[in-house]
């Protein structure tokens, strides 16, 4: 069976990401709730160590996020987001892998790009005023994610007619807007936004029909790692969801995902190696 996606290169700042194998994006969380709470310098140092460990474990790229977008998360002020992000960006300059920055604020995008970010990963898909302009003049990659509502309230009553069609139509609309603004398709990645304004059934349908969520063969990024949809299926707590995360990662690969956004890089690499070996087998 042919793989359900086209092979195309992704332009990602000074990196040209090869289309010949799926990539692992290691999550680097810069939000204070992920640390012990002993101040900015200590949490920056901890994040830098974690970023280096993610690279050592085989991450092809990193995703730095200084504002939580989990269900119920309260927005982070701009200056706080910048204070968390910039010291870590500076320390990781020249680390050898592309750095993605998970933000929806145009000011943070500009600062991150000036500090060398190769990708902007935006849960609002560049819908904030000024976001398109912040990335248009650069050569970074952009991840456009689908979200219904906003993090604080998105899980209160998610509702769709056909979730797969609605996610695809939304992403197609955003691609059209970006292309009209002069952002080349070779820079765009699409993400159905697992857990962002979706019930368990919505999330499962998106994973099952993942190839139908993209447009024009654009690469898909899937963020499933440790999410509550996996808790919904297995009844496991967040720190017990690695096996479920790996199963979901392999399903996403089968559905054509080109980038896996994960906490557990080494384990995901093994899952990816098995998937690739089987996918490339000959009879």
Residues known to be catalytic: 227, 261
Please identify which residue in 46, 52, 70, 236 interacts with ligand PT1, judged by CB under 6 A: 70
| Of the candidates 63, 68, 71, the residue with the CA atom closest to the CA atom of residue 259 | 63
Stretch that binds ligand PT1, among 36-44, 131-139, 186-194, 273-281 (CB under 6 A): 186-194
Q: Is 219 in the site for ligand PT1 (CB under 6 A)?
A: no
Q: Is 194 in the site for ligand PT1 (CB under 6 A)?
A: yes
Stretch that binds ligand PT1, among 31-39, 45-53, 158-166, 226-234 (CB under 6 A): 226-234
CB of residue 264 vs ligand PT1: minimum separation in angstroms? Answer: 14
Q: Is 195 in the site for ligand PT1 (CB under 6 A)?
A: yes
Contacts of 94 (CB under 8 A, 6+ apart): none
CB of residue 1 vs ligand PT1: minimum separation in angstroms? Answer: 26
CA distance 90 to 68: 21
Q: Is 71 in the site for ligand PT1 (CB under 6 A)?
A: yes
Nearer to ligand PT1, 41 or 228 (CB): 228
CB of residue 231 vs ligand PT1: minimum separation in angstroms? Answer: 7
Q: Which of residues 109-148 bind ligand PT1 (CB under 6 A)?
A: 121, 123, 143, 145
Nearer to ligand PT1, 65 or 87 (CB): 65
Stretch that binds ligand PT1, among 9-17, 29-37, 65-73, 177-185 (CB under 6 A): 65-73
Contacts of 28 (CB under 8 A, 6+ apart): 47, 50, 51, 54, 62, 63, 64, 65, 88
Q: Is 170 in the site for ligand PT1 (CB under 6 A)?
A: no
Nearer to ligand PT1, 38 or 234 (CB): 234
Q: Is 221 in the site for ligand PT1 (CB under 6 A)?
A: yes
Q: Is 272 in the site for ligand PT1 (CB under 6 A)?
A: no
Please identify which residue in 223, 260, 265, 271 interacts with ligand PT1, judged by CB under 6 A: 223
Using CA atoms, how far residue 213 sits from 1, 141, 222, in Å, is 19, 19, 11
Binding interface with ligand PT1 (CB under 6 A): 65, 69-71, 102, 121, 123, 143, 145, 191, 193-196, 221, 223, 227-229, 261
């Amino acid at each position: 069976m042919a793989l359900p996606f086209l092979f195309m290169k992704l332009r990602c700042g000074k990196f040209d990401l090869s289309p010949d194998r799926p990539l692992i994006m290691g999550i680097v969380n810069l939000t204070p709730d992920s640390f012990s709470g002993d101040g900015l310098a200590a949490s920056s140092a901890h994040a830098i160590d974690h970023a280096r460990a993610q690279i050592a474990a085989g991450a092809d790229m990193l995703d730095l996020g200084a504002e939580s977008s989990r269900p119920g998360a309260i927005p982070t002020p701009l200056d706080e987001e910048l204070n968390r992000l910039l010291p870590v960006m500076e320390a990781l300059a020249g680390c050898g892998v592309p750095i993605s920055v998970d933000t929806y604020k145009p000011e943070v995008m500009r600062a991150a790009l000036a500090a060398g970010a190769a990708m902007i990963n935006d849960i609002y898909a560049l819908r904030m005023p000024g976001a398109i302009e912040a990335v248009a003049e650069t050569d970074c990659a952009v991840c456009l994610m689908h979200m219904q509502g906003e993090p604080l309230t998105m899980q209160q009553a998610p509702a769709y007619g056909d979730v797969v069609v609605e996610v695809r139509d939304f992403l197609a609309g955003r691609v059209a807007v970006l292309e009209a603004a002069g952002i080349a398709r070779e820079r765009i990645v699409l993400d159905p936004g697992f857990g962002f304004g979706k019930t368990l059934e919505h999330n499962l349908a998106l994973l099952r029909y993942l190839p139908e969520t993209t447009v024009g063969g654009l690469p898909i990024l899937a963020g499933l790692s440790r999410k509550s949809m996996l808790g919904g299926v297995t009844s496991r707590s967040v720190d017990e969801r690695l096996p479920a995360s790996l199963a979901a990662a392999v399903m996403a690969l089968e559905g054509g995902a080109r980038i896996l956004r994960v906490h557990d890089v080494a384990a995901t690499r093994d899952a990816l190696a098995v998937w690739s070996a089987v996918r490339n087998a000959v009879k």
